[in-house]
Chain A
Amino acid sequence: MIEVAELRKHFVAGRGRKAKRVEAVRGVTFAAPNGVITGLVGPNGAGKTTTLRMIGTLVRPDSGWARVDGHDSVASALEVRRRLGVLSDARGLYLRLTARENIRYYGRLRGMDDRSIDATIERLARLIDMSDLLERRTEGFSQGERMKVAIARALVHDPQNLVLDEPSNGLDIMSTRALRELLRRLRDDGKCILMSSHIMQEVAALSERIVIIAHGQAVASGTTAELMAQAGATTLEDAFVTLAGEPITTVLPELGEGAPIEAPVRRGAFP
């Protein structure tokens, strides 16, 4: 179970007189329950990655909170990390180590013994089709092969909650299907899965619940049918464009702070 409420985060871009305050996340609120795949959708730069990083405890929110199974991401960061498997935006591997050694390192850091690590690796390798990669050094892996290792690494400790930032980036069709299959299986086991994507179809194919993020705020949420009804659109894509493109104050006044939004409205900016 992952909950965030009124999360805010700003960054300072540039230095000295050119420094500019960038409001990355301005009050995001949503919940991702257990046994459900929740999709976080939004245009590039909407604040998805920053939100996921705050859940993952590596970014400290300016205000608001993020909780994983009821544990606060700031006050009990280690507990949150224990309950979380994260496939972050950065998914670098150690190139001189084999795929198995890469995954095993994370298992050991989490205090697992080698037998259960190897058992998990074998199981995951069958599920995402990477058995023949295991004993190879990751140097020279294709983007998709690297992604598989990173996913296995994030799942090695069988986390109750899973946060995935753009998980299907770089995967071919077969691997994407394998990944979807894996995520559905985890969902059926009662795991809480939160994934972000900027591809609507991707999320629609997998997520029961969709949260649309735009301009640093959660502008709408619900099932695909609910979102289409809310936007008065006949296709999901139209619904998305309407919901993500409109200034928040007009679409969802109750979520907005009433403050004027400086970012230009990206009407129809989404493919």
Chain B
Amino acid sequence: MMRVIGVVLGKEFVDALRDRRTIFTIILTALLMGPITLVLLANFISGFEEKALARQIYVDGIERAPELANFLARNSMKVLPAPEHYEDEIRAGRLQDAVLVIGQDFSARLAHGDAPTVTLVFDDTRSNAQPSIRRAEAIVQGFEREVRRLRITARGVSPELLTPLTLARHNTATPKQQGAFLLFLIPMFSLIGAMIGSMSAAIDTTAGERERGSLEPLLTNPIDLPALIIGKWLTVASHSCIVVLGTLCSFAVATRLVPSEKIGTLLQFGTPELLRFCLLMLPFAYMVAALQMLVATYGRTYKEAQTYAGYIALVVNFVPLITVFASIRDANWELFVPALAQQVVLARVLRGDSIGAIDYWLPWATATLITALALWALMRLLRREGIIFGR
């Protein structure tokens, strides 16, 4: 039995390694796509942060409001004159920041307590506009508050009366949890990595044998079917595991290359996280290998099998989305659902939450059970005359 497994494993590995085009595709998609996406996204977000921190504002007609100019100067805000046709510029997206427009008789109306109008011009569908809008609103409110306090004090009333309560902000999210939003990508790409890694090998060792007409002669050898299947499965599973490991390692490298300092501290994907990910992902990888082999065996040709394997990929890609739409939190049933379990527990790892033993062995047990069932079904299938001879 062990001898046959070894022989099959050796042959399938040599066979797969000579399929250069497939290997190239796997490396490209699984190992590079994730990290590239991560770096691009991180760049985008750190650009966002720089905007939020920038102390500047576009104002049209600042000369009409010396009071506001004084307020801005005291708060060390830089005033930039608005471009001539700012409204067109904003509409066209050439100017993404909001522009504050001062009304004609601002000073006179302010002096009379007549509530002069300032207009904020912006296009909030531009994702880059948000920080500048919030900044402008904060400035206007701050100016308002100051004028209010001065007026009330002038009338001999304590300004404290105007602030009946104080809002103190206390955010319990750790820096790790703030970064976890970004790191949703890592579980997702490692799930996809497991699929991509095993797909071509799973098809080649099952439907490929049928299409080539090599299955019938192979089965005339005096070998136990379980040994043959286990040998093939080990090949496919190791492909899957290798790609998962590769994806995770490339992410670990990518998180160190992320430019922004703030994001860099948020993305803590170091060796401990890497090890936990591996523990969780490897059972999933060998389960996916078995399932893909099972469905691919129904395919008479490589192409047909690709369609069937695509169904599995669809399910695996869909299941983690449940966590996005249905906000399930810390229930235990999802540990029984492959893909979902991985997504949920990996998210906890990244949030820095505590992970119990059950979070490892429950997904591991379900994956092993499903693998065993899939391999058993595969064995039954390979005994069917319709599969052996049906070409």
Please tell me if the beta carbons of A94 and B3 are within 8 angstroms of each other in the complex.
no
- Is B214 located at the chain interface by the 8 A CB criterion? yes
Chain A, 6-63, CB within 8 A of any chain B CB:
53, 56-60
A92 to B211, CA, bound (A): 9
Q: Considering only CB atoms, which chain B residue lies closest to A82 in the complex?
A: B222
Please tell me if the beta carbons of B215 and A90 are within 8 angstroms of each other in the complex.
yes
Q: Considering only CB atoms, which chain A residue lies closest to B8 in the complex?
A: A109
Q: Out of A60, A82, A92, A154, name the residue touching B214 (CB < 8 Å).
A: A92
Please tell me if the beta carbons of A109 and B217 are within 8 angstroms of each other in the complex.
no
Query: What's the nearest-Cβ distance from chain B to residue A104, in Å?
Result: 9
Q: Out of B15, B19, B213, name the residue touching A91 (CB < 8 Å).
A: B213
Query: What's the nearest-Cβ distance from chain A to residue B216, in Å?
Result: 4
Q: Which of A95-103, A187-195, A200-208, A238-246 contacts B (4 or more CB under 8 A)?
A: A95-103
Please tell me if the beta carbons of A97 and B389 are within 8 angstroms of each other in the complex.
no
Consensus secondary structure, chain B interface: helix
Query: What's the nearest-Cβ distance from chain A to residue B237, in Å?
Result: 20
A106 to B222, CA, bound (A): 10
Q: Out of B18, B214, B215, B221, name the residue touching A110 (CB < 8 Å).
A: B221
Query: What's the nearest-Cβ distance from chain B to residue A168, in Å?
Result: 18
List A contacts of B215 (CB < 8 A). Answer: 90, 92
Query: What's the nearest-Cβ distance from chain A to residue B239, in Å?
Result: 15
List B contacts of A96 (CB < 8 A). Answer: 14-15, 18-19
Query: What's the nearest-Cβ distance from chain B to residue A71, in Å?
Result: 11
List A contacts of B14 (CB < 8 A). Answer: 96-97, 101
Q: Given contacts A90-B213, A90-B217, are A109 and B4 in contact (CB under 8 A)?
A: yes
A111 to B4, CA, bound (A): 8
Q: Considering only CB atoms, which chain B residue lies closest to A137 in the complex?
A: B18
List B contacts of A92 (CB < 8 A). Answer: 209, 212-215, 217
| Contact-residue size bin, chain A (C-beta under 8 Å from the other chain) | 20 to 34
- Is B55 located at the chain interface by the 8 A CB criterion? no
Q: Out of A59, A86, A97, A137, name the residue touching B217 (CB < 8 Å).
A: A86
Please tell me if the beta carbons of A58 and B11 are within 8 angstroms of each other in the complex.
no
Write the B8-39 contact mask toward A (1 if CB under 8 angstroms, else 0): 10010011001100000000000000000000
A109 to B227, CA, bound (A): 10
Query: What's the nearest-Cβ distance from chain A to residue B353, in Å?
Result: 47
- Is A177 located at the chain interface by the 8 A CB criterion? no
Write the B208-239 contact mask toward A (1 if CB under 8 angstroms, else 0): 01001111110111111000000000000000
- Is A67 located at the chain interface by the 8 A CB criterion? no
Please tell me if the beta carbons of A109 and B223 are within 8 angstroms of each other in the complex.
yes
Please tell me if the beta carbons of A105 and B11 are within 8 angstroms of each other in the complex.
yes
Please tell me if the beta carbons of A59 and B385 are within 8 angstroms of each other in the complex.
yes
List A contacts of B222 (CB < 8 A). Answer: 78-79, 81-82, 110
Query: What's the nearest-Cβ distance from chain A to residue B16, in Å?
Result: 8
Q: Considering only CB atoms, which chain A residue lies closest to B385 in the complex?
A: A59
- Is A108 located at the chain interface by the 8 A CB criterion? yes
Q: Out of B4, B214, B223, B385, name the residue touching A94 (CB < 8 Å).
A: B214
- Is B7 located at the chain interface by the 8 A CB criterion? yes
List B contacts of A53 (CB < 8 A). Answer: 389
Query: What's the nearest-Cβ distance from chain A to residue B339, in Å?
Result: 32
Please tell me if the beta carbons of B391 and A90 are within 8 angstroms of each other in the complex.
yes
List A contacts of B223 (CB < 8 A). Answer: 109
A150 to B219, CA, bound (A): 14
Query: What's the nearest-Cβ distance from chain B to residue A262, in Å?
Result: 22
List B contacts of A150 (CB < 8 A). Answer: 217
- Is A231 located at the chain interface by the 8 A CB criterion? no
List B contacts of A108 (CB < 8 A). Answer: 7, 11
Please tell me if the beta carbons of A58 and B221 are within 8 angstroms of each other in the complex.
no
The 9 listed contacts between A and B (C-beta, < 8 Å) are: A58-B388, A58-B389, A59-B389, A60-B385, A86-B217, A88-B217, A90-B389, A97-B15, A153-B217
- Chain A: residues with CB nearer than 8 A to chain B? 53, 56-60, 78-79, 81-82, 84, 86, 88-97, 101, 105-106, 108-111, 137, 150, 153-154
- Chain B: residues with CB nearer than 8 A to chain A? 3-4, 7-8, 11, 14-15, 18-19, 209, 212-217, 219-224, 385, 388-389, 391
Q: Which 6 A-B pairs have the closest CB atoms?
A: A92-B213, A90-B213, A92-B214, A92-B212, A81-B222, A96-B18
Q: A58-B216, A86-B217 are in contact. List 20 more A-B contacts (CB 8 A).
A: A56-B220, A58-B389, A59-B385, A59-B389, A81-B220, A88-B217, A91-B213, A92-B213, A92-B214, A93-B212, A95-B212, A96-B15, A96-B19, A97-B18, A101-B14, A105-B7, A105-B11, A109-B221, A153-B217, A154-B217
